[in-house]
Amino acid sequence: MLVGHCALLHITILADFQRKLNMAVRKRGKSWSARINWRDANGQLHQMEKGGFKTKVEAEQYSVEQQYLHTKGVDIESNPVFADYFHEWWTTFKKPHIRHETQKRYETNDKIIHQYLGDVKIKRIKRLNWQQFINDVCKTRSTTTVRLLNRQFRACVKNAVADGLITLDFTQGVNINGNDANTRKPVFLSYAEAQTLLRTAMDDRDPTVPSTYIIIAIILTGARVGEISALKWHNLDIKKHTIAIHHSYNSDIKELGPTKNTASYRTIRINTKLIDLLQEIKIDSKDGYIFQEAATGLPPANRTINSKLQVIMRHAKLDKKDFTIHSLRHVHVAILHHKSVDWMAISKRLGHQNLSMTLSVYAYYIDEDKRKSDKEIEKKLDDLFI
């Protein structure tokens, strides 16, 4: 009786769905096809047909599934190529509002998804397919790179869910384990080495060479090179001893852009010596940049700053492979850590989004603190027996 009741219920539901969508199944040769007709909110007629079903039951089941998706607000008619959908999504929603560096990352991922998934349509992609894709890109890319890649694609997939193209996020719960063998590790300096670098830069400074002053400013502020290069005189408050970091300068396209994230939009305190140093290079100009080359009135290119840094490193007799202008932020942290500045204060000063990000980057210093603490604990316990 129960089986008969379920069968009757199935027939009733199917008949109801067929009335709503005007569904029909028919045999075409050796296989079955399902045709679905419906009208949208404007009364426009739509039709969709799919064939290749082995049995009439399979065709009817497909029709019921489509009806269910339709009632859930899913666009059962549209099924774009995912790579094309990603391109349209990021160029429309992201490109007008992101930094040049972020745009280049989207462009790279755009090429990757076209290369790997080609003409695969979005409704064909399942979590298994996505995990296989991620496994493939993990073979030649670092874990961090793949995480950033998946984050961009996941935002796109969430948009597809909101658009009613699909019901589930197939990027959710993916396992990421990239190839970190060739990942460049951060280069840290000791406090003594940081002092040597700063003194050498001070000795090498020339008011006509803004690159050296940028290097000194990063050491004393921990700001990113783009943030320092973007500074204009109105960002400096001499009375309050602060600089307002509200932009980032891209030396490739010679334009100001937004900071890396909302946490990077900040105002930080600076010391008197840095204010005095900035006064040495003050030039009145149309654009008002603090650090500007005489010929252009614009900040120097990153490669120019980096070249100057390598000269200073040689003069300081500091042999550090892969030490770049970004490494100067680590120098600032080395100084503050040595002076026992709180990690939360350091995190805010660097413009990190949260403390955990700071602690993960500077785990080297955390481990160093733990080693010192362990020795102190050991000594204090031994003192009990004296």
Q: Look at the domain 82-162 and name its fold.
A: DNA polymerase; domain 1 (1.10.150)
Q: Look at the domain 2-71 and name its fold.
A: Double Stranded RNA Binding Domain (3.30.160)
Phi, psi of 299 (to 5 degrees): -65, 155
Residue 15, pLDDT above cutoff 60: no
Confidence at 51, pLDDT banded by 50, 70, 90? confident
Q: What is the pLDDT of residues 187-217, one digit of tens each?
A: 889 999 999 999 999 999 999 999 999 999 9
Quote the pLDDT of residue 1. Answer: 44
Strand 23-28 vs strand 266-269: parallel, antiparallel, or unpaired? unpaired
Calpha distance 90→87 (Å, rounded): 6
- The pTM of this model reads 0.70
What does the pLDDT average to over 373-385? 82
Burial (CB < 10 A; 0-12, 13-18, 19+), residue 30, is exposed
Out of 18-32, 195-209, 248-262, 310-324, least confident range: 18-32
| Domain regions of the chain by residue span | 2-71, 82-162, 191-371
Return the percentage of the chain with pLDDT > 70, whole number. Answer: 90
Calpha distance 199→195 (Å, rounded): 6
CATH of domain 191-371: 1.10.443.10
Calpha distance 182→160 (Å, rounded): 35
Tell me whether domains 82-162 and 191-371 share a fold. Answer: no
**Using an 8 Å Cβ cutoff, are 189 and 197 in contact?**
yes
Q: Which residues of 82-117 are buried (b: 16+ CB within 10 A; e: fewer)?
A: bbebbbebbeeeeeeebbeebbebbeebbebbbeeb
Quote the pLDDT of residue 9. Answer: 45
Q: Which pair of tokens denotes residue 164? A: 């009613």
Quote the pLDDT of residue 364. Answer: 78
Calpha distance 359→126 (Å, rounded): 36
Q: What is the pLDDT of residues 92-124, one digit of tens each?
A: 999 988 888 899 999 999 999 999 999 999 989
Confidence at 72, pLDDT banded by 50, 70, 90? low
Confidence at 287, pLDDT banded by 50, 70, 90? confident
Q: What is the pLDDT of residues 324-367, one digit of tens each?
A: 999 999 999 999 999 999 999 999 999 999 999 888 888 878 77
| pLDDT top residue among 32 and 17 | 32
Q: What is the pLDDT of residues 125-181, one digit of tens each?
A: 999 999 999 999 999 998 989 999 999 999 999 999 988 888 889 999 999 998 877
**Using an 8 Å Cβ cutoff, are 259 and 341 in contact?**
no
